[in-house]
Amino acid sequence: MNKLEFTIHCPVCHMTKINRSLLVNYQGVDHYFCSSQCLERFKSHPHLFVGDPKHGKSPKQKDQVVLKKRRIRFCDAISDRLKAELDASLQMLMGVEAMVFEDEDLYVTYDLIQVSLEDIEKAIEKVAVGFREGVVEQVKRGLIHYSEECELDNLAHLTKDGGCH
């Protein structure tokens, strides 16, 4: 019955377990986050999470999900030990929905609103250091990062005419 009681949730992943020391003041409103990942995500793309009078609700406020499935190719078949470490590390990331390992490939499905391929790769590279498998296709992935950033800007109506396409 007590409607005055409200739940504070992380604006990026909507988890209610927020960390009160992770705080960003955006347009005069304090936002608390569950993790530094979500805080950084918010700082780089606030329009995905907070609406404005001109465009209305933000994509996240409309419960929009932008699922992506990418293949990340390793130089060699992924060993069970690396698989276990990757699995544990990527599960810590908000927005990673699924992982499938197939020989030297890792197929990862994620919500682009919450996490970028770049975040995922950073987590992978941290784990993969010291493993002979290594990650390849650096150049191609650089292009994907660029198109992901454009896609997010389009979602938040930030694209100027003739911008990212």
- Cβ nearer to Zn ion, comparing 13 with 86: 13
Rounded to the nearest whole angstrom, what is the least distance from the CB of residue 35 to Zn ion in the complex?
5
- Cβ nearer to Zn ion, comparing 78 with 114: 114
- Give how many residues touch Zn ion by CB under 5 A: 5
The b-or-e profile of 107-131 (16+ CB within 10 A means b, else e) is ebebbbbbbbbebbbebbeebbeeb
Rounded to the nearest whole angstrom, what is the least distance from the CB of residue 16 to Zn ion in the complex?
10
Question: In 3D, which of 17, 16, 13, 15 has the Cα closest to residue 119?
Answer: 13
Instruction: Give residues 30-89 in contact with Zn ion (rule: CB under 5 A).
Output: 34, 38
- Cβ nearer to Zn ion, comparing 2 with 16: 16
Rounded to the nearest whole angstrom, what is the least distance from the CB of residue 69 to Zn ion in the complex?
22
Quote the strand ranges of 87-150, DSSP E.
96-102, 105-111
Rounded to the nearest whole angstrom, what is the least distance from the CB of residue 41 to Zn ion in the complex?
8
User: Would you give the binding string for Zn ion spanning residues 2-41, x where CB under 5 A is met?
Assistant: --------x-xx--------------------x---x---
- Cβ nearer to Zn ion, comparing 18 with 124: 18
Q: What is the DSSP letter of 141?
A: H
Instruction: List, as own/partner pairs, every contact residues 36-41 make where C-beta atoms lie below 8 angstroms and the sequence separation is at least 24, other chains included.
Output: 37/93, 37/94, 37/115, 37/119, 38/10, 38/11, 38/12, 38/13, 38/94, 38/114, 39/12, 41/12, 41/94, 41/114, 41/115, 41/119
Rounded to the nearest whole angstrom, what is the least distance from the CB of residue 22 to Zn ion in the complex?
9
- Cβ nearer to Zn ion, comparing 32 with 131: 32
Interface residues with Zn ion (CB under 5 A)?
Answer: 10, 12-13, 34, 38
